[in-house]
Amino acid sequence: MFDAVRNGRSAYNDEQRRAWVPERRYGTEWSGRLDGQIIVVGESDSGVVGFMSLAEGGYIDFAYIRPQAQGQGLFRKLFAEIEKQNRSRDDARLWVHASIMAEPAFTAMGFAIVEKQTVSIGAEHFVRFKMELNR
């Protein structure tokens, strides 16, 4: 997540990226956030190159691809597994808060923008999109 946000190409400026992910996430608080979510991980010979997570209610909480793995179809592969897991839960809804950078990838998977939003972290403001999968 840190690498994707802080080092990947972005429509967000450096101050926004630092506010969004000020440091690498780890420890009990991070583990607690992920507990109960289905996490799908993409790996290569160099290690983890991306992940996507599915929370209750069909919410895609995290979707990050490291810069060196972007544009290689990993997002599509991770999403296919998330969608499969969501269907196995018999959950009719899949939705996400997508960043400016993630919106095109989710649109390509069949999601539609429900609402454009502006959120704040500290003094920084971010545009994002509430999106839902059209089935």
Provide the β-strand partners of residue 80. Answer: none
pLDDT of residue 24: 83
pLDDT of residue 46: 84
Q: pLDDT confidence of 135, banded at 50, 70, 90? A: low
Report the alpha-carbon distance of residue 95 to residue 4 in Å, rounded. Answer: 21
- Express each pLDDT in 70-108 by its tens digit: 889 999 999 999 999 999 988 889 999 999 999 999 999
Sheet holding 59-65, edge to edge: 38-44, 47-55, 59-65, 95-99, 124-133, 111-121
pLDDT of residue 18: 87
- Express each pLDDT in 9-61 by its tens digit: 888 888 998 888 988 888 888 888 889 899 999 998 889 999 999 999 999 99
Given a contact cutoff of 8 angstroms between Cβ atoms, the answer to whether 122 and 94 are in contact is no
Six token digits for residue 51: 């992940």
Q: For the whole model, what pTM was predicted? A: 0.89
Q: Say which amino acid occupies 132.
A: E
